[in-house]
Amino acid sequence: MKILMIGWGFPPKIHGGLDIHVHETCRELAKSNDVWLALPSFNCPDDPEGINIIPVRCPSGKSFIRTVKAYSAGIIKECSGMDFDVMHSHDWFGVEAAQKLRQKDKIPWVFTLHSLESMRGFSNGSLMERLEIRGAKKCDSLVTVSNFMRREIRKLGVKRRIEVVYNSANVGKAEPEVIRKRLGLGKRPVALFMGRLSEQKGIAYLMLSARDVCQKIPDARFIIAGEGHLKESLERFAFHLGMEDRISFPGFVPNEEIFSYYSAADVFVYPSLAEPFGISVLESLLSGTPVITTPSAGVLEKIPGMECVLKADPQDSAELSRKIIKALEERRRVLKSERLAIQKAYSWKNSAKQLAAIYQKLI
């Protein structure tokens, strides 16, 4: 099959779980298919890992909407007439290009909704929301990443069949002692959050719980790693809580250090208010670090019940603090048998096989 994938980021320029999904499934699909990945020129990699990259020139300015519109126009210009068997776009940013290519070149269109703009805090009839609904209703095959997301998409009035293709995760080299030394953690118990600093992730509730945790475990430390528009306000919040010496904000974590951060922590806390999947949860567990996350997280749908996964209502900081205290007092690691069960439940190879079957059915 000759596949056109419409992406956005690619290692080392990863912006979220969508980019990880596109990268990993493209790598798997490219082993037995002719995969072409359209990317903004400013996110194109030096090493495409066996994938044909289509660089699309577009401005990287202050207006993200303007950048995406230029990207869509560029995709149509670069990809028209290339005789693809199928194309696959993700979330709202590729909808306009995919719809026009489908009309012009008669290419079957697969559309994956990884999340919704309303979950990210952008709603009220925005352009992005309108494009989400248009893609969901106009594509030839609609895919999402969990049953939780399938139910959320149904709430938009989408009644058609929705396929679920789960994400997965890989694990890399870890040097936890490097991170502990750099952040001055010593032997102290550590709780970690790592991800986009946005309202969706429930970080303010984690910080409220941190104050209660430190009353019970005075030497506990909290790491809130990542970037996002809330970073400055969260740092001010830590100061107002009197927790500026207990909560650190190391900022952006490069790919080569991600697993060192997971391994350096005693528990990974991911209290998202809405979590369609949660690749970070899998990454932490495969790194050996237990997790506390929201009960509705899509990633939990295929993980069997195990002691290394605790659930807490993300908006209940008292419950969250109790679970964190439990994890920091026990300081257990994820058992080898638990890691094997997780690897059996999720794999990028299986995800790519599911996608290939969807493509073949359309062709």
Q: What pLDDT band is residue 123 in, cutting at 50, 70 and 90?
A: low
Does residue 122 have a pLDDT over 60? no
What's the pLDDT at 121?
A: 65
Q: Is the confidence at residue 120, as pLDDT, over 80?
A: no
In the prediction, which pLDDT does 314 show?
Answer: 85
Largest CA distance in the chain: 65
CA atoms within 13 A on the CB side of 185: 25
* Contact in structure between 308 and 290 (CB atoms under 8 Å): yes
Flag whether pLDDT at 127 surpasses 60. Answer: yes
- pLDDT more than 70, % of the chain: 99
Convert the pLDDT of each residue in 293-324 to its tens digit: 999 999 999 987 899 999 999 889 999 999 99
316's CB contacts (< 8 A; 6+ apart) are: 205
CB 279 within 8 A of CB 17: yes
Ordered by where they begin, the domains of the chain are 2-168+347-362 (3.40.50.2000), 176-345 (3.40.50.2000)
pLDDT digit string, tens, across residues 45-80: 998 989 999 999 998 877 888 999 999 999 999 999
Q: pLDDT tens-digit profile of 323-353?
A: 999 999 999 999 999 999 999 999 999 999 9
Strands (E), the chain: 2-6, 34-40, 52-56, 86-90, 109-113, 141-144, 162-164, 190-194, 221-225, 247-251, 267-270, 291-293, 309-311
Closest to 113 (Cα-Cα) out of 155, 78, 146: 146
In this predicted structure, the answer to whether residue 10 has a pLDDT above a threshold of 70 is yes
Predicted confidence at residue 339, as pLDDT, reads: 94
